[in-house]
Amino acid sequence: HPPVSQMEETSLLRRANCRSKGGASGFKVAILGAAGGIGQPLALLMKMNPLVSVLHLYDVVNAPGVTADISHMNTGAVVRGFLGQPQLEDALAGMDLVVIPAGVPRKPGMTRDDLFNINAGIVKTLCEGIVKCCPKAVVNLISNPVNSTVPIAAEVFKKAGTYDSKRLLGVTMLDVVRANTFVVDETLQSLSSSSAEVLGIDPRDVNVPVVGGHAGVTILPLLSQVNPPCSFTPEEISYLTDRIQNGGTEVVEAKAGAGSATLSMAYAAAKFADACLRGLRGDAGVVECSFVASQVTELPFFASKVRLGRCGVEEVLPLGPLNEFERARLEKAKKELAVSIQKGVSFIRK
């Protein structure tokens, strides 16, 4: 990637500001891990987002190829590619939002925690770059295990004195996207006709809060709070909860060694990044679920609904009333979450 002169830079930005619907206020977004299974379709979707004026694509392989390809799309954002560690700082300088899908994905038989040894180090390095070049950026962390990588990022930022808990968000949106899809899924039809009221509804109009974390039993869909309201039998609740918790494994097994969810994840990440950008722009009422620093439970991090605003997380919303099934599952989730969070913290403090 050739160095860009001041003049070229100015002209690129002028083009970006003219072409983007966000005008001069268009946002600068970096994707770290942009050449990967998630990174590529996510780059495509972010290039289509009118709120984005500059899109930086960073990876340790194939970033120039993906950048050349994406840059031919006739949408507003100006795209620039960055390859390898020596270009990380340029990739991050001045960014408003940094989305991180860098790292290895699961293969059949693996848990998300099995990825810790490789991904923890990758996340640490990338967060050290953020400290140096864009400490005020909002960070969307996708790399697994999210339950540990978010605490890792927080520790890196704390160590450097730049930590702002409002700006660090673990991406659990795919769990919500799956939950919304599965409750409308035709498989429900075969379970009971009492759920017929949810059939025929566009999954985009359904909203299932998913709280806890992003791995197995820590993924806790609150099916008692589905909007629009609908009632499920105990069998349906048990089936749906298990399917939502194991949605990732469903994809890993279907891909049979070729990776984990990438396309649905890119969709979910783009939706979440868009919500963060709308929050940064000052839109009111932007609420999504995310794994963040939290006082909703006794744990230091927890996923729940958050209100997004000009500074990132404006407010962590309470869990709302839980039924007996959800309270029991919450206790289970918290036990595993506590261990995963501690593992992340210890990785930096050791």
Residue 146 Cβ vs ligand NAI, minimum distance, rounded to whole Å: 5
Q: Is the peptide bond before 145 cis (omega within 30 degrees of 0)?
A: yes
Closer residue to ligand NAI (CB): 259 or 300: 259
Cα 78 from Cα 349, distance rounded (Å): 39
Question: To which H or E segment does residue 52 belong?
Answer: strand 52-59
Residue 9 Cβ vs ligand NAI, minimum distance, rounded to whole Å: 23
Cβ-proximal residues to 186 (8 Å cutoff; 6+ apart), any chain? 199
Whose CA is closest to 47, among 65, 87, 20, 9? 20
244 is in an annotated binding site: no
143 is in an annotated binding site: yes
Residues, the chain, total? Answer: 350
348 is in an annotated binding site: no
- Active-site annotation, residues: 214
| Residue nearest ligand NAI (C-beta atom) | 36
Closer residue to ligand NAI (CB): 241 or 262: 262
Q: What is the DSSP letter of 111?
A: -
Residue 108 Cβ vs ligand NAI, minimum distance, rounded to whole Å: 13
Answer for the pair 28, 56: CB distance below 8 angstroms, yes or no: yes
C-alpha distances out from residue 152 to 66, 109, 159, Å: 29, 25, 11
Closer residue to ligand NAI (CB): 13 or 104: 104
35 is in an annotated binding site: yes
* Helix intervals (H) in the chain: 6-19, 39-47, 63-71, 88-92, 116-133, 146-160, 173-184, 187-191, 234-245, 247-255, 263-281, 324-349
Residue 192 Cβ vs ligand NAI, minimum distance, rounded to whole Å: 29
Closer residue to ligand NAI (CB): 224 or 246: 246
What amino acid is encoded at 93 in this protein?
Answer: A
180 is in an annotated binding site: no
Answer for the pair 173, 144: CB distance below 8 angstroms, yes or no: no
Answer for the pair 267, 45: CB distance below 8 angstroms, yes or no: yes
| Contacts with ligand NAI, residue ranges (CB under 6 A) | 32-33, 35-39, 59-61, 101-106, 115, 119, 122, 125-126, 142-144, 146, 171, 174, 214, 259-262, 265
| Residue found under tokens 């891909």 | 255
Residue 118 Cβ vs ligand NAI, minimum distance, rounded to whole Å: 8
Closer residue to ligand NAI (CB): 19 or 255: 255
Residue 119 Cβ vs ligand NAI, minimum distance, rounded to whole Å: 5
Whose CA is closest to 24, among 51, 46, 57? 51
Closer residue to ligand NAI (CB): 77 or 88: 88
33 is in an annotated binding site: yes
What amino acid is encoded at 61 in this protein?
Answer: V
93 is in an annotated binding site: no
| Annotated binding-site ranges | 33-39, 59, 106, 112, 119, 142-144, 178, 265
- Binding residue numbers for substrate: 106, 112, 144, 178
Question: Binding site for NAD(+): what residues are annotated?
Answer: 33-39, 59, 119, 142-144, 265
